[in-house]
A and B are shown apart, each in its own frame.
Chain A
Amino acid sequence: MSDFSLNEALWVLLLGSLLGFELIGKVPPTLHTPLMSGANAISGITLLAALALIGQAPSPPLQALGAVALGFALFNVIGGFLVTDRMLAMFRRRGGAA
């Protein structure tokens, strides 16, 4: 079902990894926990794969499997972003007061 070759996919993988290494250069220790939490939320992007599975599944059992996968992924994404926001909101309030 993929519309690109292994070659291209590997390039994408390599460049994505390099980007990840570069983006997280220096992080103040204050932000380690929120950053981990935010990155964790992003890793729930696997929800795209779950959606694709539901869309392409020929039978209800497979669709149900996709729906369960989607549930897990959305739990990760939505919960992750909200919890990160809660943590960061605290810094913001204080920054505004200073």
Chain B
Amino acid sequence: MNQLLLDLSAVLLLALGLRGLAKLRTARMANGLAALAIGLAVVGLLVSQGLAGWPWMLGGLAVGGGIGVVLALRVPMTAMPETVALFNGCGGMASLLVALGAVGLPGPMGLLATVSVLASVLVGAITFSGSLVAMAKLQEWLDTPAWTQRQARHAVNITLAVACLACCVVVVQGQPWGLAPLTVLALLLGIGLTLPIGGADMPVVISLLNSYSGVAAAAAGFVVGSALLIVAGAMVGAAGLILTQVMCTAMNRSLTSVLFGGALGASAGAGGGEKKEAESYGRITSCSAEECAMALEQAERVVFVPGYGLAVAQAQHSLRELARLLEGHGVEVSYAIHPVAGRMPGHMNVLLAEADVPYDQLVEMDVINPEFPRTDVVIVLGANDVVNPQAKNDPSSPLFGMPVLEVDQARSVYVVKRGLGAGYAGIKNGLFELPQTAMVFGDAKAVLNGLITELRGMGVGKKALAAV
């Protein structure tokens, strides 16, 4: 009875937590509520089943929890998507192991239990290996191998899937050894499904795998007969699906084309068999930090477009300093945030928050796009694909149709970039060739600090001090 009460409160808190996480004001408390809910659920379970095997429990807590704490407190904010992928994969692994272990428990296995075990093993394994591949791709440890872009990959994956099903049939017919090949094949399937997907689509994949790990948890709930586990798993599964859909909409990609269409840039080039070399650019204007600073000094309205490159260069704080300087000078400053800026939706907001950028200056794409024509200076910092005008006006571009920040509408655009390399999706950017665009080559942080020095040299900071 006590357990029932605890379980019910846990479900209630989990629901409140998930809902609260969707609102800025309540998000942090909601996260705490969800953690509390899991704590209650653990207490409930231990009350009902007793503490048998407690040394094993403590061991798992010390090792798993300990590593989790260290990693969570140490990982830099730029590596957040990879970290979520890693956590997610481990959740899948846990479901997989529990299901395998449940087979060894005494007592007969009914059909329901068997099917649950199979689902848990299958989904858990795919989640685990898929998440690890996603993590490796985001870390840029793994490339997209060429063979995965050929049609043959579908044959490989379909073969693996059929083999998995065959193993399931074997297990259902009372041959538990089928679980061993099933585990291996499902792990391979997770790799086979994730490897062909390009780095730019990885956030969608992580979100989908997050949903899978919920499904795996629900399946584990069927295995051990826990209603709480089923509810929580189903909630996460459903919530993950919604988030996945939201991300796909933001990138104007359908889920099927993300999952089965291959990598974005590669599929465009692989058409005739010849892989597109890094396309050469025509007329490029490059300029120094000094010229850029002069344009900023004259401007009334400046929009910064931060991208992942800014975060990699750890230049958020320099950006914030430059923005303060300009504000003191009477310049209207805002930041244009593309829905998928960074490596994941909302990632850039987190990174800028870290640098104390005021919340109300972060403007979403739909709101800022009409504002670009009356913007004097746009500074693009380490962003590329999300400001590519070809997504709007070149039907042959692989990006065509993706909503972008229309910075080409502004009076002048400065693109801070280390070189003319292609973006994350591997596609040339027509913005760089426009007459109103100038490239400022260099590391984002160095360029920003250069701009600050130049502006101070022009006496911009002094005015601000006088005003204070």
Contacts and interface: CB of A to CB of B under 8 A. Distances in A.
Interface of A: 1-4, 6, 8-9, 12-21, 23-59, 62-95, 97-98
B243 A16 contact: no
18 contacts: A24-B239, A27-B246, A29-B250, A31-B21, A35-B346, A36-B344, A39-B214, A42-B38, A43-B210, A45-B41, A47-B38, A48-B221, A59-B104, A62-B104, A73-B91, A74-B65, A77-B38, A85-B31
B68 A13 contact: no
Given A52-B49, A78-B65, A88 B28 contact: yes
Given A57-B105, A73-B90, A43 B364 contact: no
A72 B84 contact: no
B34 A81 contact: yes
A73 B30 CA distance: 20
Given A38-B34, A69-B98, A79-B71, 14 more contacts: A19-B15, A19-B235, A20-B214, A24-B18, A33-B349, A45-B232, A49-B95, A53-B105, A55-B53, A56-B49, A62-B104, A66-B97, A68-B97, A70-B60
Contacts of A71: 59-61, 63-65
Contacts of B346: 29-35
Would you call the interface of chain B mostly helix, strand, loop, or mixed?
Answer: helix
Contacts of A12: 227, 230-231, 234
B199 interface: no
Given A39-B236, A76-B87, A87-B80, A81 B35 contact: yes
Interface of B: 14-15, 17-19, 21-25, 27-28, 30-32, 34-35, 38, 41-42, 45-46, 49-50, 52-53, 56-57, 59-61, 63-65, 67-69, 71-73, 75, 77, 80-81, 83-84, 87-88, 90-91, 93-95, 97-98, 100-102, 104-107, 112-113, 206-207, 210, 213-214, 216-218, 220-243, 246-247, 250, 337, 339, 342, 344-347, 349-350, 353-354, 356-360, 362, 364
B351 to A, nearest CB: 9
A98 B360 contact: yes
A19 B91 CA distance: 21
Given A34-B27, A75-B67, A23 B220 contact: no
B226 A48 contact: yes
Contact of B93 (A17, A25, A40, A72): A72
A30 B94 contact: no
Give 4 closest A-B pairs by Cβ, nearest first.
A2-B225, A20-B238, A71-B64, A16-B234
A64 B56 contact: yes
Contacts of B206: 36
A23 B240 CA distance: 11
Nearest to B213: A43
B91 A32 contact: no
Contact of B229 (A31, A48, A59, A98): A48
